[in-house]
């Protein structure tokens, strides 16, 4: 039986993993891809975004799969095999999207430490997304961001459309990981032949593969947490922008990542709102379904999150809800 090739997508918060995954699922013609998504926080924004393009999506929201003590990843991998064996699922590749705070070490270890998983899956490679705009600061602040680069078989430098000159960053990445080629990508656009069949974990004679390092997350990351803000009334787009501008004015350094779906007054479609530190964007997503109660849900992930300020800023929109809708 041919083992199922597994690609692990990693990279710090907001580096472009979901954007790349959407590109992979959209472009590839040759494989049936199953996806395991691990989301930070209980809201599955990314799962909603990748939609129905994967053969099977399993979402693990019970904490980060690299640090949870449960065997959630192991169980998910075995469940997928059960599905294959009983004919309820059909796929020939697996992509695992880690959270931006995941240390890839323990995730990779799962593929070496469980007999059935070792036999039926084959780790193809680790692809690490690096946000060309924020990476320098993230690498200075979080040893985890360095680990994610250390494990890479391929490094994809994202946001090169807005980052300016990347020479110094590229040199820094090469010093951390001299083995992985670095490719610039804009919105996940890359030739898939460069991503698959990297054989990063095959011990070929000509390749010196560094032994995976399994390390604990640095204590400093304990300061990172997430909060979910929800409201069940429509809001005016300009008001949300004003709230965000104010929050960023005071707390841009603390807000590592924020994203969610918004109910905008008078609009038939959901607004996907997301940002990474100071860069944020909004896109219209699909229309609200007839049987779906519109609502807004935002997830904020940050260092020493100013929770009270964030909640009170959004509560402020409640006192003056728009008359329409």
Ligand X SMILES: Nc1nc2c(ncn2[C@@H]2O[C@H](COP(=O)(O)OP(=O)(O)OP(=O)(O)O)[C@@H](O)[C@H]2O)c(=O)[nH]1
Residues that bind ligand X (CB under 6 A): 11, 13-19, 46, 100, 129, 158-159, 161-162, 185-187, 257, 274, 276, 281
Sheet strands (E) in the chain:
4-11, 33-38, 56-60, 93-97, 121-131, 154-158, 182-184, 224-231, 255-262, 269-276, 279-287, 296-303
Supply the minimum distance, in Å, between the C-beta of residue 35 and ligand X: 12
Q: Which is nearer to ligand X, 57 or 117 (CB)?
A: 57
Q: Residue 241 CA to chain centroid, in angstroms? A: 24
Question: Three-state DSSP class for 143?
Answer: helix
For residue 315, the minimal CB distance to ligand X (Å) is 24
Closest approach, Cβ 101 to ligand X, in A, equals 8
Q: Which is nearer to ligand X, 6 or 132 (CB)?
A: 132
Nearer to ligand X, 64 or 129 (CB): 129
Would you say 13 or 35 has its CB closer to ligand X? 13
What burial class does residue 216 get, using C-beta atoms within 10 Å of its C-beta: 0-12 exposed, 13-18 middle, 19+ buried?
exposed
β-pairing verdict for 93-97 and 33-38: parallel
Instruction: Quote the least distance from Cβ 225 to ligand X, whole Å.
Output: 14
**Cα gap 224→307, rounded to integer Å:** 12
Position closest to ligand X via CB: 100
Minimum CB–partner distance for residue 281 and ligand X (Å)? 5
Write down the least CB distance from residue 215 to ligand X, Å.
20
Instruction: Tell me the backbone φ, ψ of residue 167, rounded to 5 degrees.
Output: -60, -45
Nearer to ligand X, 14 or 125 (CB): 14
Q: How far apart are CA 280 and CA 133, in angstroms?
A: 12
- What would the two tokens of residue 228 be? 């979910």
Closest CB to ligand X among residues 9, 117? 9
């Amino acid at each position: 039986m041919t083992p199922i090739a597994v690609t692990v997508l990693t990279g710090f918060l907001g580096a472009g993993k979901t954007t790349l995954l959407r590109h992979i699922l959209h472009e590839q013609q040759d494989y049936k891809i199953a996806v395991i998504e691990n989301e930070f926080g209980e809201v599955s924004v990314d799962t909603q975004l990748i939609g129905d393009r994967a053969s099977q999506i399993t979402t693990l929201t019970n904490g980060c799969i690299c640090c949870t003590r449960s065997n959630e990843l192991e169980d998910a991998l075995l469940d997928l095999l059960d599905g294959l064996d009983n004919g309820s699922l059909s796929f020939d590749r697996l992509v695992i999207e880690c959270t931006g705070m995941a240390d890839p070490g323990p995730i990779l270890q799962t593929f070496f430490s469980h007999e059935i998983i070792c036999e039926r899956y084959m780790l193809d490679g680790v692809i690490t997304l690096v946000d060309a705009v924020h990476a320098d600061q993230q690498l200075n602040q979080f040893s985890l961001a360095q680990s994610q680069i250390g494990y890479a078989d391929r490094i994809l430098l994202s946001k090169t459309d807005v980052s300016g000159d990347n020479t110094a960053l590229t040199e820094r990445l090469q010093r951390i990981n001299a083995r992985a080629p670095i490719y610039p990508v804009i919105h996940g656009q890359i030739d898939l032949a460069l991503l698959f069949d990297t054989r990063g974990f095959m011990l070929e004679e000509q390749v010196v593969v560094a032994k995976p390092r399994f390390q604990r997350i640095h204590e400093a990351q304990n300061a990172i947490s997430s909060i979910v803000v929800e409201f069940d009334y429509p809001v005016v787009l300009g008001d949300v922008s004003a709230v965000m501008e104010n929050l960023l004015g005071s707390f841009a350094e603390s807000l590592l990542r924020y994203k969610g779906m918004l109910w905008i007054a008078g609009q038939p479609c959901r607004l996907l709102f997301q940002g990474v530190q100071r860069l944020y964007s909004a896109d219209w997503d699909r229309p609200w379904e007839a049987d779906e109660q519109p609502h807004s849900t935002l997830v904020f992930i940050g260092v020493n999150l100013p929770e009270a300020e964030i909640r009170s800023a959004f509560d402020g929109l409640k006192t003056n809800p728009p008359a329409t809708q």
